[in-house]
């Protein structure tokens, strides 16, 4: 007997109506019809961190954001099946803020239609768990024409947005403390990223540091012909509470929110799009920031090195003298790059060599012969890496690269065969213990290793007679040394 599902359970979650009690939890809800370009949004979340920031900066708010106007060009979408859709040129007011994910203009507001009393309002749920909020507007913003606002937003986007959130020592300037105390605190906190963070969590990607939330707002107003404060103040010293009407020229926009008390029991919320239930800012912003940091910090250096090598190679080709200074520079650069790759190659190879020896030492007899062959091949690759890294062996660049390609092809095959044997060994243990879940996991690993081997097809190597001679010499040396040793432990020292 089957139970029929209710119509509500069949409806996608983003298409369902939101009840009044849930809307009150999301409040305050921003009325989008009241928002204008240049408006400043101050908020404070419900967590202890936001309360601490508000307390330290002497005010009720802990975060600041700004609405900016952006002009989007026409966009044409072509349907592969024929037809398509064209979006005309449009101007949109978007929320720009700097938070833990970075400084960006990404979809933070989650819009919905609020209906009660026969009326409909276009509102937005604020990002995070907001406890209180206020919308501020400069009284002279109307004197700035739309074209200037859009141009300032475009310049601001390229100069200040898509950057990582700054280090904690940058926030000390917003505290209402005497300058000598702030200098001491900033000096102490500035040592944290250089010591503790570098040890516990070294950065994997280049970091392009940006501004914090209220600093971002102050920097935008610096581009406009209207002052934000009665006396000049550095943007890095502006806190969210420094933007309050009592301390700046901004004024409160009345009736800009629906608070929990304003939402009656018969109120209903309707989602506008499917992104309402999940914030896409945590996914969208970090990726864009990494791309910008890579383009601005790494790409110029890589391009310069490529141009330098290209120029040196051109000069060598023109002179035709391998003994010239240009050739020495090219040769030195290429050797330094090869050496860096050899170090990584040796690290991975040594790790695999130790794993094979460990499993071979503890494996039952039927598996030792297979593991023994893999151990011999791994030992050969280890000696080949030592020969390639030797400065005494005269070798052309072409021969060295081809021998390394040969090494990598053999390494991929040895690694796959070892993983297959190790998984078979583990499967036999799992079968004896009747652990079905373990067998499933191991089979999945086996399949992934097989797919990885198929994708990692190496470049065909074309070493010549001198390369064949080096490989044969390494094999002969390995067998000659191994024949003098009786146990695998001694062979492992090769």
pLDDT tens-digit profile of 23-63? 898 889 999 999 999 999 999 998 888 899 899 888 999 99
Q: In this predicted model, which residue has the larger pLDDT, 207 or 321?
A: 207
- Ranges 245-249, 299-303, 403-407, 432-436: which has the least confidence: 432-436
The per-residue pLDDT for range 365-424, each reduced to its tens digit, is 777 778 888 888 888 888 888 877 775 555 566 667 677 777 777 888 888 888 778 777
pLDDT above 70 as % of the chain? 65
Rounded to an integer, the average pLDDT of 313-337 is: 59
The per-residue pLDDT for range 188-199, each reduced to its tens digit, is 766 655 444 444
The CA dihedral of 171, 173, 174, 177, to the nearest 10 degrees, is 120
Residue 446 pLDDT: 62
Whose CA is closest to 257, among 41, 13, 424, 430?
Answer: 41
The CA distances from residue 137 to 58, 161, 339, in Å, are 21, 22, 59
Yes or no: say if 102 and 210 are a contact pair by the CB < 8 Å rule.
Answer: yes
| pLDDT higher than 60, residue 462 | no
Rounded to whole angstroms, the Cα distance separating 126 from 108 reads 7
| Structural tokens at position 208 | 């392009």
Residue 377 pLDDT: 84
Rounded to whole angstroms, the Cα distance separating 237 from 172 reads 8
Residue 409 pLDDT: 77
Confidence of residue 202 (pLDDT cuts 50, 70, 90): very low
| pLDDT higher than 80, residue 67 | yes
Rounded to whole angstroms, the Cα distance separating 329 from 313 reads 9
The CA distances from residue 31 to 111, 124, 250, in Å, are 10, 7, 19
Match domain 7-166+209-279 to its CATH number in 3.90.1720, 1.10.287, 1.10.3470, 1.10.1200.
3.90.1720
Rounded to an integer, the average pLDDT of 458-471 is: 58
Confidence of residue 315 (pLDDT cuts 50, 70, 90): low
Residue 89 pLDDT: 75
Q: In this predicted model, which residue has the larger pLDDT, 490 or 346?
A: 346
268 strand-pairing partners: 115
The per-residue pLDDT for range 146-167, each reduced to its tens digit, is 889 999 998 998 889 989 888 8
Residue 194 pLDDT: 45
Residue 37 pLDDT: 92
Rounded to an integer, the average pLDDT of 452-476 is: 59
The per-residue pLDDT for range 472-489, each reduced to its tens digit, is 777 776 666 655 544 444
| pLDDT higher than 70, residue 328 | no
Which residue matches tokens 């990223």?
A: 193
Rounded to an integer, the average pLDDT of 436-449 is: 63
Residues of the chain with CATH 3.90.1720: 7-166+209-279
Residue 420 pLDDT: 78
Residue 393 pLDDT: 52
Let me know how long the chain is.
494
| pLDDT higher than 70, residue 127 | yes
The CA distances from residue 357 to 49, 367, 377, 466, 488, in Å, are 51, 12, 12, 32, 8
Rounded to an integer, the average pLDDT of 65-93 is: 72
Q: What is the DSSP letter of 163?
A: B
User: pTM, whole model, 2 decimals?
Assistant: 0.61
- Ranges 118-132, 218-232, 316-330: which has the least confidence: 316-330
User: Helix H segments across 363-396?
Assistant: 365-388
| pLDDT higher than 70, residue 179 | yes
Please enumerate in sequence order all residues whose Cβ is within 8 A of that of 334, keeping only pairs 6 or more positions apart, or say none.
Answer: 397
Whose CA is closest to 241, among 27, 43, 29?
Answer: 43
Q: In this predicted model, which residue has the larger pLDDT, 245 or 299?
A: 245
Q: In this predicted model, which residue has the larger pLDDT, 89 or 145?
A: 145
Largest CA distance in the chain: 95
| pLDDT higher than 70, residue 359 | yes
Yes or no: say if 63 and 240 are a contact pair by the CB < 8 Å rule.
Answer: yes
Q: CA angle 21-26-29, nearest 5°?
A: 110
Instruction: Give the best-scoring range by mean pLDDT among 55-64, 88-97, 349-358, 468-477.
Output: 55-64
Yes or no: say if 24 and 263 are a contact pair by the CB < 8 Å rule.
Answer: yes
Rounded to an integer, the average pLDDT of 105-110 is: 78
Mean pLDDT estimate for the chain? 76
| Structural tokens at position 120 | 């409909």
Exposure of 355 by Cβ count < 10 A (0-12 exposed, 13-18 middle, 19+ buried)? middle
Q: Assess whether the previous peptide bond of 28 is cis (omega < 30° from 0).
A: yes
Q: In this predicted model, which residue has the larger pLDDT, 359 or 12?
A: 359
pLDDT above 90 as % of the chain? 22
């Amino acid at each position: 007997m089957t139970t029929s599902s209710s119509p509500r359970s069949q409806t996608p979650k983003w298409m369902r109506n939101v009840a009044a009690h849930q809307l009150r939890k999301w409040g305050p809800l921003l009325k989008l019809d009241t928002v204008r370009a240049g408006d400043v949004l101050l908020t404070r979340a419900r967590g202890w961190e936001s309360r601490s920031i508000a307390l330290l900066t002497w005010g009720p708010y802990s975060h600041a954001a700004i609405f900016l106007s952006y002009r989007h060009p026409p966009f044409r979408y072509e349907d592969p099946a024929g037809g398509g859709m064209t979006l005309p040129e449009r101007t949109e007011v978007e929320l720009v803020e700097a938070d833990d994910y970075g400084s960006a203009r990404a979809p933070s507001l989650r819009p919905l239609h609020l209906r009660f009393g026969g009326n409909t309002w276009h509102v937005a749920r604020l990002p995070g768990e907001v406890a209180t909020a206020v919308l501020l507007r400069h009284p002279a913003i109307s004197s700035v024409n739309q074209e200037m606002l859009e141009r300032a937003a475009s310049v601001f986007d390229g100069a200040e947005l898509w950057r990582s959130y700054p280090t904690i020592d940058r926030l000390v300037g917003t505290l209402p403390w005497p300058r000598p105390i702030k200098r001491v605190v900033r000096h102490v906190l500035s040592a944290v990223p250089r010591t503790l963070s570098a040890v516990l969590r070294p950065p994997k990607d280049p970091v392009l540091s940006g501004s914090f939330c209220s600093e971002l707002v102050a920097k935008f107003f610096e581009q406009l012909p209207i002052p934000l404060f009665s006396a000049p103040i550095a943007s890095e010293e502006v806190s969210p509470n420094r933007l309050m009407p009592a301390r700046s020229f901004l004024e409160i926009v009345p009736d800009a929110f629906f608070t929990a008390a304003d939402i009656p029991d018969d109120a209903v919320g309707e989602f506008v799009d499917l992104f309402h239930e999940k914030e896409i800012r945590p996914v969208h912003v970090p990726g864009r920031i990494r791309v910008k940091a890579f383009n601005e910090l790494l790409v110029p250096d890589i391009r310069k090195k490529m141009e330098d090598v290209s120029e040196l190679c051109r000069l060598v080709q023109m002179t035709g003298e391998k003994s010239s200074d240009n050739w020495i520079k090219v040769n030195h650069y290429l050797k330094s790059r090869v050496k860096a790759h050899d170090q990584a190659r040796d690290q991975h190879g040594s790790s695999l060599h130790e794993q094979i020896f460990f499993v071979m030492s503890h494996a039952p007899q039927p598996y030792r012969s297979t593991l023994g062959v893999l151990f011999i091949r791994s030992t050969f690759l280890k000696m080949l890496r030592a020969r390639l890294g030797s400065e005494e062996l005269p070798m052309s660049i072409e021969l060295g690269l081809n021998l390394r390609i040969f090494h990598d092809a053999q390494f991929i095959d040895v690694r796959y065969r070892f993983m297959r044997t190790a998984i078979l060994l583990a499967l036999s243990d799992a079968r004896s213990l009747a652990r079905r879940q373990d067998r499933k996991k191991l089979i999945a690993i086996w399949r992934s290793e097989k797919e990885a081997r198929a994708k990692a097809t190496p470049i065909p190597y074309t070493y010549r007679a001198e390369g064949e001679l080096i490989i044969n010499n390494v094999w002969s040396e390995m067998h000659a040394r191994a024949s003098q040793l009786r146990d695998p432990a001694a062979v492992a020292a090769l």
